[in-house]
Structures are given as C-alpha cells and as structure tokens.
Homo-oligomer: A and B are copies of this chain.
Amino acid sequence: MEPTPLSYRGLCMVCGDKASGKHYGVPSCDGCRGFFKRSIRRYIDKRSLDYVCKENGNCIVDVARRNQCQACRFKKCLQVKMKREAAVQHERAPRKRPDYFCGGPVGVTPFAPHPSHHGPPSLTFPYYPFSFLLKPPGPYPVPPFLSPPPHSSTGFNSAFTPFYTATSLFNTATVPTTNHKGKDIPSPSLPPPPAPPPATKREESKEQEPVSSSSSPVPAYKTEGSDDSSPSETKKEKSEVSKSSDVDRMEINGCYKSSPSALRESTELIHVTEDKDQEEVDVNDDSSPSPQMSPTEDTRTTQPTQAIFLKRTIFVDKAKDLVVRIIDWTRSIPPFLQLPRRDQAKLMEETWTELWLLTAIQTGYPLNEAMEVSDAPNTSQIRCLISKITSMRLDISEFVYLKGIVLFRPEIPGLREPLQIALLQDQTQTMLLDYSLKGHSLGSPGSLSPTTTLNLSLKARFGQILLLLPLLRTLNSDAIEGAFFGISRTTHTRSPVSAEGEGNIKQVISDIYQRD
C-alpha cells in the first residue's frame, strides 16, 4: 500500500508539530515555515521585527502555544537554525558574539542576513544567551524547564524543550525501553513531541504509514462520534485506525529479564483492548471454557474449578503485563529518567498501585471479571473506585496526565529530588488544566438534550479529575495485589499463580528500577 507517499520527515523542530519537510534548513511544519517566511519578509521591509515577548522570553513554543508569542517563536526558529537560504545549509555554528541583549522583551532582530543581502549589520547567528538556563547541569533553574532527554541525536532543540513536552507522557508503552539494551533504535522512535493532546488513539510507530492526519495537533475532541456527518470537509480522508504491529512489544520483555520472570509477553490481548477502548476483553466471554457455571455466585463461595483457575492465571498474567507497560511508560518520559534511580524506584514503589489501576481502566483490562475469579475478600472498595473512575470517561490524554500527576508525587519521604519532582507534578497538572479547559472531552454540545446530561462545564472537569486522587490514594497495594495478582497478604502464597516466590510487586518493581 502506498497511501501517502508523503514524506514523513519527522517533527517540526520549532513547535513539535508534524513537519512537512525541511524548510530553511530545518524540518518544520507549514505553520512555522510560513511564520518564518513572513517574519523574514517583514524584516526586509521594515528593517526590524516588532516582535516583543510579553513574558520573560521564556515562552514555550509548542504546537498548541506557538501562536501565543511571536517573539519566542521566532527566537525558536533561530535557535533551531532556520536560515534564510536553504542552499547554505551547512554551517558550523559560527557563533558570533551575541552582542545584543536578548533578555526580556527585547525585540528580536537578528537573523542571518544572507551574503547576497547587504545591509543589516550582520549579527548573524541566533545564539541563544539563555541557553545556560536550560542546561541540565544547572541546578533546577527556571521552573518550567527541565533538561533534555539523555540521548538525543542532534541535541538541537532537545535542549530546548525544557518543559517536557506533554508528548513524552504520551508515548504508548510501546517502545523505547529497548534502547539501552540493543543498538539505538531508530531515533524517530523516540518520543516525538508531536501532539500532546491527541486524544485519539495512535498507531503509527515508525515511518510506516504516515497516514498521519491523526497526528494533527488539534485532533478531534470526540473520537468518532458524529464527526463524519460532514463528508465534504476534511480534504484528507481521515485515516482509520489501522492495525498496529505487535512486533516491538516483544522486545520490551527483553529488558526485564532481570525481573523475576513475573513479566512476560503476550501483550496482544491488552493491546487490542486498548484500541477498542471500553470493550471487554475477550478472554472472559469467549475463551471461557465453562460457560455453564455462573461465574458470579459460585466462584465466591465454592472452590475454584479448573476453569476458574485457568482464567485466574490468565488474568494475573495480563495484570503483570500491565505492570510492564507501566514501567515502559515511565521510562519513556525523559525527565523521569533523569531523576536519581533511587527516586525513580521510590516513586514507582509508592504509586504503582494507582498507576496500575488507572492503566487497567484505561486499557480496558477486565477488572470486574478478574475480581470475579479472584478469591480476594473485600473488593467492594475497589469496585466502587473503579466505577467512579470509569464514570468519568477520561480520554486518553486525561489518563496520561493523571498518571503523570500520580507518578510525580513529591511528598514521598526520602526523595532526593523532591523539588524537581514537585515541579514535574506541577507542570503535569497544569497541562491537564490546559487540556481540560479546552474542552476536548466535551461531548457534542449539540445533543441539545435540555436535560442535565451534559454536566460539561469545562471548568469543573479538571477538579473532578483531580478529586479522583484522594480516592485512589486510599487504595492499598494489598488489595490490588490480592485482587489482581493472586497474592494474599498472608505469608504463604495463596494462589499458585504467582510462580516465583516473589515477595510482592512493589519489591519487584523496586529491583527493576534500582539495578539495571
């Protein structure tokens, strides 16, 4: 299939949107291309740009905010070395002295005047005086800034997206973990900072099918509700969610070999459910060997039958897979990886339960069925919690943000970098606020049902989501381990499913993060 011969050149170096190719020497999107072009033109006409940053010159330039501040956007263009003439593409950073003070609101004038052009005092390069602020070594300098991911091929703007662009949170658990193991994986596999928000599912992993339209920065709020109603529009036909490869998934497991084998592959199931969203996993309704037995009543009171036992085994396996996915996810977040290993371990030790439950709900893990076959005692609290969260109908973005907030829990005692973590939590919750205020999750208001159904109120949503956290916090890991991992608190391992004598999940996780 050659649906879109379109070139997928990666991401815009300026704003992280999908690049339409290289422009002025830099992979960039049409928007930034046009912006730079206009800026140049204006500069030529007027001899100066009147861009002025109203903040401190630190504005974040990403796809959602690129239009907020022209000054900073232009500055970013220069930083990524956009040049007027594509021809003169390669230049060693000539680094002239940046005599101009770029601080604060200073207008930005400097860009490389091309030789063919005469005139403007050649303050050539976009040297960025602020760079020291962003440098990783520095002690947490500016609030919103974080250092770049450990490895970045170019080092270009990576240094620049201080803010860990929301995107890093959005990497599906798919990938990168493999890096440290084998070779470097195709760099593109790395967290592309495309669209933080994309509430939609995503599938493209590699250069494969750029079908792309999905990655549009401001994709649909609602998945595929009634949108199709207007057939005429949408020039580019929306690519449907296609299949995705399970390939990479297999790799993942390699990394964890160190762990007590609790983590294995067989992610397909969950993977499927992920796409389906709210579907029940098939395992419970079809593969169930003995439909004749009422799962509900009997299991609780009677001895587990063979069928029940099998099911339970499967569920536990899947539950463990989820843990793998979560670990993967955390490792795809650059700023998380930059934390001390001890902190990483601590954070996960303390929050894995909540992350697990959220992820389970998000991916459609059959929680209720799993609890049915489990012999855990009091699941009522868990059930209540699940239904509460489910009823919120969080979209993927919200889930991701929420998990980020859960993960970055600064108040855990003994952390080495609590401030940094607090900062990350702050950023994450702020991003969620932004996101929720934009009303992505707002259903079609057109439903017109005058009734109360739409509790919408965009403004309320953020708080509603955060108010799930106190509930989540009341979860104790014992309950989760008991209900989904077949681990009973009593000393003897109750369920044979937990193969190894692994003490508990927490310990395993801790080991994984500490060693390696």
Interface residues of A (CB under 8 A from B): 25, 31, 43-44, 46-48, 50, 52, 54-60, 63-70, 75, 78-79, 81, 83-85, 88-93, 96, 104-109, 112-116, 124-131, 133, 142-144, 154-156, 158-160, 216-218, 220-221, 229-230, 233, 384, 388, 405, 411, 413, 419, 423, 425-427, 429-430, 432-434, 437-439, 444-446, 448-460, 462-464, 466-467, 469-474
Contacts and interface: CB of A to CB of B under 8 A. Distances in A.
Given A155-B451, A456-B144, A54 B112 contact: yes
Contacts of A470: 469-470, 472-473
Contacts of A84: 439
A482 to B, nearest CB: 20
Given A469-B469, A469-B470, 15 more contacts: A44-B458, A65-B129, A67-B91, A68-B131, A78-B448, A85-B218, A85-B221, A104-B115, A105-B114, A158-B451, A388-B411, A425-B467, A426-B456, A470-B470, A473-B473
Contacts of A47: 457-460
Nearest to A451: B419
Given A154-B450, A460-B426, A25 B159 contact: no
Among A63, A66, A451: residue with most chain B CB under 10 A = A451
A438 to B, nearest CB: 8
A107 B54 CA distance: 10
Contacts of A466: 463, 466-467, 469
B457 A130 contact: no
Contacts of A413: 384
A86 to B, nearest CB: 9
Given A85-B218, A454-B143, A464-B426, A64 B90 contact: yes
A462 B459 contact: no
A109 B458 contact: no
A313 to B, nearest CB: 32
B105 A116 contact: yes
Contacts of A229: 81
Nearest to A96: B50
B90 A58 contact: no
9 contacts: A44-B438, A47-B459, A68-B90, A68-B93, A68-B128, A81-B230, A129-B434, A429-B464, A462-B463
The 4 A-B pairs of least Cβ separation, nearest first, read: A155-B450, A429-B463, A143-B456, A470-B473
B446 A159 contact: no
Contacts of A125: 55
Nearest to A128: B68
A54 B466 CA distance: 29
Contact of A43 (B70, B79, B458): B458
A50 B69 CA distance: 32
A452 B126 contact: no
Contact of A454 (B81, B159, B221, B451): B159
A195 to B, nearest CB: 10
